Amino acid sequence: MRGEPSILHVDLDAMFAAVEQRDKVSLRGRPVVVGGVAGRGVVSTASYEARAFGVHSAMPMAQARRRSPPGTAFLSPRFAAYKRTSEVVMRLLGEVSPLVEQVSIDEAYVDLRVTDNDLSLEGVTALARELKTAIAAATGGVTGSVGAASSKLLAKISSDLHKPDGLTVVPPGGELTFLHPLPVGRLGGVGPATEQRLHRSNVRTIGQLAAVELSDLVDWFGTAHGSGLYRLARADDGRPVVSEREAKSVSAEETFDVDLTDPAHLNRELELLATRVAGRLRSSGLTGRTVNIKVRHPDFTTVTRAITRDQPTDDPRLVAQLARRLLAELDTSGGIRLLGVGVSTLADFAQDDLFTLLPAFDLSSPAVPTASPVPSPSLLAGGSDSSDSPVDDPGTVPPPVWRPGQDVLHDDVGAGWVWGSGLGRVTVRFEGPRTPPGPVRTFAVGDPALHPADPPDWTADPHA
């Protein structure tokens, strides 16, 4: 533990939902839920307006819909938009310190000890305030909460205390005074099961946990976990900020509305997942030698299979070919609830066989059919993300699937986002980050004038 609060933890507030509210002006101040909008989907992020009704991440989307008030927007994720925002924030952090450890798309640690900044309590507090202001300005209003402390453990806990848009600086020498009154669930190593076990022993605060003998914790949780809790309760955390984090794998998965049994449909889903994985590999400058699949059956039994080739690849066709080979080894007649594709054994170069022949399939379609039944007409931004008539003939071009929240461009009306879709129609709201709330128009799902679009530029003047 350091002698000054020289580690910052920066955590963007409900980032996915905040980006949606920034880019869709009509949703500002309203409940927004981002995640898998289909029947078995789960919540990725809920805006603070939605959290007031008990909606939270990892909640089944069906439950979130029951809890949410009328007018809540249910949107599919737009990872390209989130990535752009994240890159802006990470560049800002890099201007504060050369030592930044990005731990996810929306959070990072910053080491101030390697800078010339004033590391006094007052100096760090002023710097953190300036950083929060800069983040909001650079991202078009997405806020971040900042914690500063003498260790990564305390910096992360403090950043979460006063969300959203919070700032907490733990004074040097006051670490235990800050930490011990907090509930044990605030510690990173305390999940629901550990918390329940501690509660049964009348251990509810971190201070009470610190009073438990090491031998008791080891008896309750085992040597590794018990010893870890013993150290964390005493703020014993000497982990350094590490600027380079090596990715171990890149993956994507999909949970289906209804269990899939049709091999052709499963293969099309594999192709879509392979395309997503390959896109993430290429955007990160990575390739991989091992392709794996993850299959979950209706009884929640999960099976994985993997194959490793001699040379790394980022080719979606090759990833899909190997994934199909792995899937062919499994019995899928009883239905598949979840399907995933991943690539591991990563490298930063590719050397594929020059004459590898692969079956071709279209990777440029804006969307592919899913296993959802024919949807009813959608309401506000919560319509189905499935096609109206899934196509079983692999030789035909499936109709586009418009996902709620998706960025689109109409040749005549301009830029907007999908409000919802169903029964062969798609409804679009035409507005952007810096426009007034826009009009709503409905089109046929196959309207040739309607196209998928890149995320809007929140810095651009729409009248320029």
Tell me 205's DSSP state: B
Contacts of 194 (CB under 8 A, 6+ apart): 184, 221, 225, 229
Q: Left (φ > 0), alpha (ψ -120 to 50) or beta: where does 84 sit?
A: alpha
DSSP labels, 139-189: TTS--EEEEEESSHHHHHHHHTTT-SS-EEEPPTT-HHHHHTTSBGGGSTT
Contact yes or no for 325/307 (Cβ under 8 A)? yes
Active site residue 107: yes
Chain center to CA of 367: 20
CB-side neighbour CA atoms (13 Å) of 66: 6
CB-side neighbour CA atoms (13 Å) of 275: 15
Contacts of 65 (CB under 8 A, 6+ apart): 72, 74, 382
- In the set 107, 175, 254, 269, the catalytic residue is 107
DSSP labels, 406-454: -EEEETTTEEEEEEEEETTEEEEE---TTSPSPPEEEEETT-TTEEE-P
Contact yes or no for 341/277 (Cβ under 8 A)? yes
Tokens linked to 147: 């914690």
Contact yes or no for 349/312 (Cβ under 8 A)? yes
User: Which residue numbers are catalytic?
Assistant: 107
